[in-house]
Structure formats: structure tokens, C-alpha cells
Amino acid sequence: MNSIGELYQETTKDTLSLINYYDYIEAVKIMKNYHNIYVLSIGQTFNAGKVFADRMNRIDKNVIASDNFNEQFYYYLLWLYP
């Protein structure tokens, strides 16, 4: 149990060390300006994307996360060619 706890603490510290505060603020500003936010990811990262989408939906931000590759491609094209 202690090893797992230490692993989570180490992972959290590593992740926080990679986050640039100013990039974070800029990302928040960008998300505020859009009505729809699309999460495009596959594999293990999709789970994190789905959690992000669920939490954002709770604060009335429309976030769409799909693990369907065809839908992701469609959303990417929407972003590329608005």
C-alpha cells in the first residue's frame, strides 16, 4: 500500500512540475471563448479525457468526448474547417 501511495505522490509531483501556470491560464481563456469543447484521445488517455468532460459538463460547459475514431475525425474536421 505504501508503494502505491508513493507512486501516486511521485506521479502527481512530476505532473505538476510540467505544468506552466501561464499556459494553464491561457488554456482557460481559450476554453471560455468556445461553446463546444471536443476531447480527442484514444487508449488510456481517453479515460482522463472522459473524466475531464464529465467535470466540465457539471459546470455547464459543453465538452464532448468520444472514443469512436470516426467521430473524432469529424470533430477534428469541424475544428480545422469551421
Percent of the chain at pLDDT above 90? 29
Strands (E), 1-82: 36-40, 62-66
**What is the arithmetic mean of pLDDT over 58-69?**
89
**What is the arithmetic mean of pLDDT over 64-69?**
86
Q: What pTM does this model have?
A: 0.65
**Per-residue pLDDT, 35:** 83
CA-based max dimension of the chain: 50
**Among 62, 73, 12, which Cα is nearest to 54's?**
62
Question: Residue 4 corresponds to which cell in the numbers above?
Answer: 502505491
Contact 67, 46 (CB under 8 A): yes
pLDDT tier for residue 79 given thresholds of 50, 70 and 90: confident
Q: Is the pLDDT of residue 1 over 80?
A: no
**What is the arithmetic mean of pLDDT over 3-20?**
90
